[in-house]
Structure 1
Amino acid sequence: MLALPAPAFAQTTPAAEPAQTPTNDAQPQPGLFNSFLNLFNPNRMADDGPPSPDATPYKVEIEVKDAGRSLREAVEQASTLESLSHRPPSGAAGLVRRALSDRNNITAALYGEGYYAGLIRIRIAGAAPEAANIFEIVEAARKNGPVPVRVEVEPGPLFTFGKVAILDARTRRPLPDAPPLRRLRLEPGEPALARNIVRAESALVDHWRACGHPFARVASKDVVADHATSTLDVSIYVEPGPVATFGRFTVSGADFLTPRFVEDRIEIAPGTPYSPEVLNRLRRRLIGYEAIASVRIEEADKLDPDGSLPITLVVEARKPRYVGFSGTYSSTDGSALNAYWGHRNLFGGGETLRLDAQASWFGEKSEAVPDADPFGYKVSASFVKPGIYTAQDDLVAQAAVLREVTNAYVREAVTLLVGVRHRYNDNLSLQVSIDLEESRVEDTTGTGDYGIAGVPFELTYDTRDNELDPSRGVRFAGTLEPFAYLGEAGAGPVMVKGVFSAYHAFDEDKRFILAGRVAAGSVFGADLTDVPPQRRFYVGGGGSLRGYDYQSASPRNADGIIIGGRSFFEASLEGRIRVTDTIGIVPFVDMGSAYISEWPDFDGLKYSAGVGLRYYTAIGPLRLDLAFPLNPGPDDGDFGLYVSLGQAF
């Protein structure tokens, strides 16, 4: 039996070999688990300044015997000799220090992969780093070129978890409400990966905090390797601490907002059982206001006499004004450039105002209006006033003057949408609006003037973890809009539309994500020719069916010109795979079509497939998609290329 070295592991049996303890005049070495965690520190290999004038070049060779690819890569990534080989150390002493540190680093890597009986041999010019005359050996070797350094690793047997116990630090007895070992990845018989023990400690603290214990902590742990059976026994001692409720909330730093703006949105009554998730939802809700840059939650270090926990919210403001520009490119949909100016706190109550000016180019002749100018524009303003009735009610207004060029029509219009959005909870909201439009539209039948007045009801349910790059959760957006006036159709028609998307990450690092989307809609109560062209449904292009021209998977007239439909159906499936931290590939399939009938009949569905490239940035992924139609018609192209910011859905 061997107790692993302190302070990462505590010795618990007389049979354990003593851990080495640094003397007072020695440089203290970090625990092996700290070294293990340091392998994931992005600054571990940071450039440490200009080359030393006494640089000692070396050439390192690493051999991991009888090891698979993942173990070899783990050892190589842990090795400082390998990662800093491009940067020679200072003098012989620097090379020796680097070699000695590799023992600890590689040991931590072996532990991380479940190997606790490994042997590590390091030779510098054929000598051990601890050799009495090692400096003379290095100086002699460097005269002949780079100093040869060889690292041999024998990992030994793969250890599995043996006895695993989650114990009360005070009574030393099992905690009855501990999470199952399978969830902690500490199940007996499974590979004894050290990283699983590290993660389990955090998971245990999170578990008890989620159960209402704000001061839960791991007091200590015993980890003992049994070399006779190649098993690792683990005992983790937890102090859950007292159960608490939420007490008083104090807000600081919110002077840039109207009084009680933040307090009115806390919505956590005193006496509510303590929950970190409730606090996280509060933080996410508050930073959803554009005026707020960040919210830091500070929990008190002790409970009040009534068992409640005081909470302080430290709020920081964003810069109130901003400007920017954006652009999109599509070989099938056309391109656009947009410049914008905005204010995040217009009157001091979190009001937002954004002004946009967009110029677009359709990229080809419109099928319906072939002599139309391909250039379009849109000048728009959007305004949000939080808390017009209660803290849950926001005033939303959007107005635009635009010219739009598509294959089916060319539209010049003035639009206005004014509504109230009510938030029922952090995931569910309903917006009721007045939708007004006055437009002149030219299509294959000629030019018509259309007035539109409707009352859209928009229901949104959203549990996504990130708007631009979701990895978990679902989103549903449904719209029901009865029209008081819809062009030549007059009063009575109703439009209904819904979009549902879901996301699932298969691993904790979110490197493998499956994403799916389904959308459908219908306009009923009016004939197709009575519905204004811009309010019909169209499918095709980067926002719906990639690989097909914009609107091309839509009904056509006898001359083959797109006229749109009264219903549509779309579906997409993507596999989002991160190759590196910044690069990802996305294979995908799309399907969809629009229909003349009031409801989709699924006849004549179009299909496409393709692959995308993602470059992940701090503000979201940059998207490049290449798609190919699978069952193209005679008027369809060979491929579609799309560039934009954010995922496709």
Structure 2
Amino acid sequence: MLVAFVAPQALLAASPALAQSTQTPSSSPASGTAAQPATQPTNEAPQSGLLGPILDLFNPSRVAAREPPTIDATPYNLSFEVKSTDRDVRSAVEDASNLERLKARPPAGAAGLIRRALSDGPAINAALYSIGYYGSNIRITVAGNSPDAPNIFDIVETSRKRGPVPVVVTVDPGPLFHFGRIAILDANTRRPLPDAPSLASLGLQPGEPALATTVVRSETVLTNHWRDAGHPFARVVDKDVVADHAVRQLDVSFYVEPGPRATFGRFSVNGADFLTPRFIEDRIDIAPGTPYSPDVLNRLRRRLLEYESIASVRIIEADHLDPDGSLPITIEVSPRKPHYIGFSASYSSTDGSAINGYWGARNLFGGGETLRLDAQVSWFGQKSDAVPDADPFGYKVAATFMKPGIITARDDLLASAAVLREVTNAYVREAGTFLAGIRHRFNDEASLQISIDLEQSRVEDTTGINDYFIAGVPFEFNYDNTDNRLDPSKGIRFTGIAEPFAQLGDANGVPTLLNARFSTYYALDEAKKYILAGRVAAGSMLGADLYDIPPQRRFYVGGGGSLRGYDYQSASPRNEDGIIIGGRSYFEASFEARIRVTDSIGVVPFFDMGSAFASEAPDFDEMKYSAGIGLRYYTAIGPLRFDVAFPLNPGPDDGSYGIYVSLGQAF
């Protein structure tokens, strides 16, 4: 069995409430609301505790039970009579009903019940509009009478003496409407706009169900279409929405004012006093006269936020163009706290446990520099197969430094050094490491880093104790055009490394490491509820025999970061005694279907394959396979991952399943 857990450094959650108002073909009477009087809380309500938010998610009555009781509560029995066999219609009605949503919390007095009943009509009507029903007939009765009857309060008071007040919601949704005539017109000339987006891209094709939500969403699509085409002041001025009941169609006319086409003009910066002069200006690589594009501004914002010293970036577009047709832009930045501390922890039944404490400094010398110091202690949790009498205790003390703009604004200096002791099933290592290089950013998506890689180590494995000196020059190319670092829905990622070694243990000549990783992501729908994700990785050590390569520089496969369901490093070559020794090449591949069930919950069926090989090139006849299912809980900083994986062709030394918990997707 394999159980792995990674505790993130910080876990933030946000639950923003979004509200929108739309014009609809018909109107409904307004309704008011009244505040509930305060009372003393009860001591018998269930407590929230650590798991309270999760329990509340699946049992809303817990929330109601924790609230103080209502004074003069008026219980009621609610029933729905929906004249439709369509489940979506009934769900829309019940989800929109205040009477249904708040039935566990009886209202205060007869007036409270009547207010609740009156608010249901407009809410249900709007919900039916959202799914394409514009001819509905909604009737609500309280104790057999209309809630606006003259003597309704007396009727309710009489009824409540006999028990809960009966409330009946009767809904005849009428026929489903479809889109009819759709027009995208110039707001000034009232003539069709020639460069308008297609109706298919708006979801407004004639004959399709006329969802009100699609109409509302189309306004944003229209505005973004013209803004993307270089019109910063584009807007939908008005729209006509007409429900033709005779033919059961919804005709929609949008009146759009694209506004003038613009170029980027002067950029001004506010709030950057905490950085060296022109730090922000030097990183605005948008030349005056460049055609206006909101995507260009978004990429600039994301690029500036990659600097740890900067807490926020706000880009403000002017409300007018300069005489030359250019748009002035103001960039406001704010600093993050200069110092931070924290800790992280991990657990695995085979990899061992670790606790890490760290201290960091941001904007160390005023130029955006960062320094982080880490101190980690670890416990392997079992005897190493290669060194059974080894102390399972490990440690790592490390320092990482980054200096932006070492040569130009596109060039950053990165350096890290560490002293460590590492215990695995294949070897036990004590080492000092140093890596320093310069990373050049070609653009927002591509970068190349050239470094110096040094290591002095003492390693014990099945061959005994050996001292190794390693000196290499890694070239690392990265390309990433995904839309989200922790939870991408589109784009690709690629990392390629070529590292020739001047010294690599006992290897002669110039052995060279080649390693590449590629992943791609594709959303099947606009709401990004269904995402396909794939990953392929492969590597080889050229020009060196297996036992001439230091054990820590060989390839290993197995575990949550490579082949789920198999123990750490277990899908790797072994010696005649069955002890893991690592390989000269490897291959891995993964496929996931990421499915959102709700806004915060998702399931992920997945399939992994991979293995390390003693040969210089992968031997696909020795591949290992696994499959499993994952659960995702989506937070403001990324998904919380829980995966269960099962080996499909396990060997005699492999476990039966693996469990993994971490922050972020598997890849």
Q: Same fold (TM over 0.5)?
A: yes
The TM-score normalised by the length of structure 2 is 0.89
SS in 2 for 1:270: coil
Aligned to 1:215: 233
Report 1:331-342 matches (<5 A).
331-342=349-360
Contact 1:342-1:353 within 8 A present in 2 as well:
yes
Deviates more, 1:363-372 or 1:567-576: 363-372
Report 1:152-191 matches (<5 A).
152-191=170-209
Measure the CA separation in 2 of the matches of 1:500 and 1:167: 45
Going from structure 1 to structure 2, the CA distance change for 1:550 and 1:49 (only over 3 Å counts) comes to closer
What is the Cα deviation at residue 615 of structure 1? 2.5
Going from structure 1 to structure 2, the CA distance change for 1:278 and 1:243 (only over 3 Å counts) comes to same
Aligned to 2:43: none
Aligned to 1:380: 398
What is the Cα deviation at residue 280 of structure 1? 0.4
Deviations 1:495-531 (A, max 9, x none): 0100001112223333322211100000001111111
SS in 2 for 1:214: coil
Contact 1:494-1:524 within 8 A present in 2 as well:
yes
Gap runs ≥5 in structure 1 = 1-6, 12-16, 29-45
Contact 1:345-1:352 within 8 A present in 2 as well:
yes
Matching of residue 289 in structure 1 with residue 307 in structure 2: yes
Measure the CA separation in 2 of the matches of 1:229 and 1:164: 15
What is the Cα deviation at residue 112 of structure 1? 0.5
Going from structure 1 to structure 2, the CA distance change for 1:330 and 1:513 (only over 3 Å counts) comes to farther
Contact 1:332-1:640 within 8 A present in 2 as well:
no
Q: Give the aligned length.
A: 617
Matching of residue 80 in structure 1 with residue 122 in structure 2: no
What is the Cα deviation at residue 363 of structure 1? 2.4
Deviates more, 1:546-555 or 1:329-338: 329-338
Match for 2:376: what amino acid?
Q
Measure the CA separation in 2 of the matches of 1:579 and 1:162: 32
Question: 1:515 aligned to 512, 517, 533, which one?
Answer: 533
SS in 2 for 1:59: strand
Match for 2:87: what amino acid?
R
What is the Cα deviation at residue 468 of structure 1? 1.9
Contact 1:299-1:309 within 8 A present in 2 as well:
yes
Aligned to 1:129: 147
Match for 1:140: what amino acid?
T
Question: 2:622 aligned to 578, 581, 604, which one?
Answer: 604
Contact 1:418-1:435 within 8 A present in 2 as well:
yes
Aligned to 1:325: 343
SS in 2 for 1:603: helix
Going from structure 1 to structure 2, the CA distance change for 1:94 and 1:573 (only over 3 Å counts) comes to same
Match for 1:169: what amino acid?
A
Matching of residue 495 in structure 1 with residue 508 in structure 2: no
Measure the CA separation in 1 of the matches of 2:179 and 2:368: 54
Contact 1:331-1:642 within 8 A present in 2 as well:
no
Match for 1:581: what amino acid?
D
Question: 1:559 aligned to 570, 577, 593, which one?
Answer: 577
Deviates more, 1:368-377 or 1:62-71: 62-71
Aligned to 1:41: none
Contact 1:484-1:490 within 8 A present in 2 as well:
no
Deviates more, 1:575-584 or 1:75-84: 575-584
Report 1:275-314 matches (<5 A).
275-314=293-332
Deviations 1:306-344 (A, max 9, x none): 111111111122222111111222333333222211112
Aligned to 2:57: none
Matching of residue 504 in structure 1 with residue 522 in structure 2: yes
Report 1:389-538 matches (<5 A).
389-538=407-556
Deviations 1:260-313 (A, max 9, x none): 111111111111111000010011111111111111111111111111111111
Aligned to 1:265: 283
Measure the CA separation in 2 of the matches of 1:348 and 1:490: 46
Aligned to 1:140: 158
Match for 1:441: what amino acid?
V
Going from structure 1 to structure 2, the CA distance change for 1:203 and 1:356 (only over 3 Å counts) comes to same
Match for 2:118: what amino acid?
L
Deviates more, 1:377-386 or 1:335-344: 335-344
Aligned to 2:606: 588
Aligned to 2:657: 639
What is the Cα deviation at residue 158 of structure 1? 0.9
Going from structure 1 to structure 2, the CA distance change for 1:428 and 1:133 (only over 3 Å counts) comes to same
- RMSD of aligned C-alpha atoms? 1.9
Deviations 1:131-185 (A, max 9, x none): 1111111122222232221111111111110111111111111111111001100
Matching of residue 550 in structure 1 with residue 542 in structure 2: no
Going from structure 1 to structure 2, the CA distance change for 1:149 and 1:549 (only over 3 Å counts) comes to same
Deviations 1:320-375 (A, max 9, x none): 21111112223333332222111122112111111111222222221111111222
Contact 2:22-2:216 within 8 A present in 1 as well:
no
Measure the CA separation in 2 of the matches of 1:51 and 1:311: 54
Matching of residue 109 in structure 1 with residue 127 in structure 2: yes
Aligned to 1:35: none
SS in 2 for 1:278: helix
SS in 1 for 2:620: coil
SS in 2 for 1:148: strand
Contact 2:32-2:119 within 8 A present in 1 as well:
no
Match for 1:353: what amino acid?
L
Aligned to 2:638: 620
Measure the CA separation in 2 of the matches of 1:134 and 1:218: 44
Match for 1:535: what amino acid?
R
Contact 1:330-1:542 within 8 A present in 2 as well:
no
What is the Cα deviation at residue 388 of structure 1? 0.8
Aligned to 2:385: 367
Contact 1:9-1:222 within 8 A present in 2 as well:
no
What is the Cα deviation at residue 597 of structure 1? 1.3
Aligned to 2:15: none
SS in 2 for 1:341: strand
Measure the CA separation in 2 of the matches of 1:556 and 1:9: 69
Measure the CA separation in 2 of the matches of 1:151 and 1:339: 59
Contact 1:10-1:222 within 8 A present in 2 as well:
no
Measure the CA separation in 1 of the matches of 2:367 and 2:85: 62
Aligned to 1:63: 81
Measure the CA separation in 2 of the matches of 1:73 and 1:321: 51
What is the Cα deviation at residue 10 of structure 1? 8.1
